[in-house]
Amino acid sequence: MSYNYELLIIGAGSGGLAAAKRAAAYDINVAVVEKESLGGTCVNRGCIPKKLMVYAADFALQDQLATSYGWSECQRQINWSQFLSKVHHHIDKLNQSYLQTLEEAGIDLIRGQAKFVDAHTITVSDRQITANKIIIAVGGHPIVPNIPGKEHGITSREMFHLQDLPKRLAIIGGGYIGVEFASMMDALGSEVTLMDVEESILPGFDQDIRLSVQRGLSQRGIRILTQTTAKEITKGSDGIQLSLSGDYQETLNADTVLIATSRAPNTKDLGLENTEVNVSEKGVIEVDEYSRTTQDTIFAIGDCTNRIPLTPVAIAEGQAVVDTAIGNQPQSVNYDNVPSAVFTRPEAATVGMTQSKAQEKFGESVRCYRTEFKPMLYSLSEQDEKVMIKLIAEGENQRIVGAQMVGEHAADIIQTLAVAIRQGVNKQQLNETICIHPTIGEEVLTLE
């Protein structure tokens, strides 16, 4: 049978674009369908603009520290509209770069919403398109819980389009998205209240990371309400009012309410019922180790599956799927020891197992090496800043199976350590490594 394309990719986010570029190298007809801006969540309303906001906030934190080093005090204020204008201009340039890359590779870009007719056919508007194989890379979107008055809140998608920097910001949800925005907006000058139904923020992370980040945010002036959520949101004479339930049963006033509770796959309007692809009640696509769905000509990658929702993971999946489906070189992604970071201040990063997971798997053979100290950057300051580093080892040779860090340069240090952990490094090998002094990283190599 003749098809319009050998490979069709639905979604031009990080995973979809990676798959398209890899497929172009096989000299086949490739098309990408996208209804929004190229780059997906990461580029347009996630990783990239969020990290730029982190950098903007860091200037405020550096001003606070500068007087400890003899610099005179200054009262700088951010021009919010100018900052966001620069962010969007940068994103526009990235979008154009992606478009140019697709054009140079001979990849067709089809604008609009894709909907399956059958396993080899989709429609986009009034156009019908066929493909031998299809990759679903549609990503996810924020879920807004059914709170009365939820229409008065916004999601992370709208945070980069606020006309004014809110004086008072309430955040519902203590996962990494809510926590990162709490950190940034506090440094930029907002009065921030963060709430979560858990006993501490960042559920799913190692307990030491959760407690260390929570303490650091609290010291910076962020009000953190645990085991608490909003039961109703209303508009009043003093902005937006949140009626809280849980440990803190009170009324909270805010100018902006960010709802950052959870995310779900963008699979609702894909017409997957017209295929044999298995989809859960929550819209998650079932895949095997090669990202193949229950319809053998259709694959799925990234946040619409039930694996690790991180940009580098989606990229690796996209490349592996193309090698499997087009190159006939079956490739699967190794999900062990995938590093991740929370770009708060203090910054947090992790790779491998948490302490509880290691103890659950290896029992009494687990040993933890942990330190907490004041970093040199703050040695001339009265600020009570701390760095926390923890290595988790198991077995007789003390193989490192996990690493956790909170503090300056955490993401870069853990990223580098991830290579060693993937190669099976043990504690003795770390001890024998000569370190650079004075650095925070040397503490990883000298833990006792």
pLDDT by residue, tens only, the chain of 448 residues? 799 999 999 999 999 999 999 999 999 999 999 999 999 999 999 999 999 999 999 999 999 999 999 999 888 899 999 999 999 999 999 999 999 999 999 999 999 999 999 999 999 999 999 999 999 999 999 999 999 999 999 999 999 999 999 999 999 999 999 999 999 999 999 999 999 999 999 999 999 999 999 999 999 999 999 999 999 999 988 999 999 999 999 999 999 999 999 999 999 999 999 999 999 999 999 999 999 999 999 999 999 999 999 999 999 999 999 999 999 999 999 999 999 999 999 999 999 999 999 999 999 999 999 999 999 999 999 999 999 999 999 999 999 999 999 999 999 999 999 999 999 999 999 999 999 999 999 999 999 8
What digits encode the pLDDT tens for the residues 91-119?
A: 999 999 999 999 999 999 999 999 999 99
Domain residue ranges of the chain, discontinuous segments joined by +: 5-141+264-325, 145-260, 340-445
Q: What is the pLDDT of residues 177-218, one digit of tens each?
A: 999 999 999 999 999 999 999 999 999 999 999 999 999 999
In CATH terms, the superfamily for domain 145-260 is: FAD/NAD(P)-binding domain (3.50.50.60)
Burial of 87 (0-12, 13-18, 19+ CB in 10 A): middle
CA distance 131 to 123: 11
pLDDT per position as a tens digit, 216-249: 999 999 999 999 999 999 998 899 999 999 999 9
Nearest to 171 by CA among 187, 163, 183, 161: 183
H or E element: which one contains 359? helix 355-362
90, 120, 161, 437: which is the annotated catalytic residue?
437
Third-level CATH fold of 5-141+264-325: FAD/NAD(P)-binding domain (3.50.50)
pLDDT for residue 199: 96
| Angle formed at CA 275 by CA 270 and CA 280, multiple of 5 degrees | 70
Q: Is 437 designated active site? A: yes
- Answer yes or no: same fold for 5-141+264-325 and 340-445: no
pLDDT at 239: 95
CB 49 within 8 A of CB 87: yes
CA distance 254 to 166: 8
CB 58 within 8 A of CB 185: no
Task: Look up the CATH superfamily of 340-445.
Answer: FAD/NAD-linked reductase, C-terminal dimerisation domain (3.30.390.30)
Q: How far apart are CA 177 and CA 343, in angstroms?
A: 9
Locus of tokens 């009170």:
250
Phi, psi of 360 (to 5 degrees): -65, -35
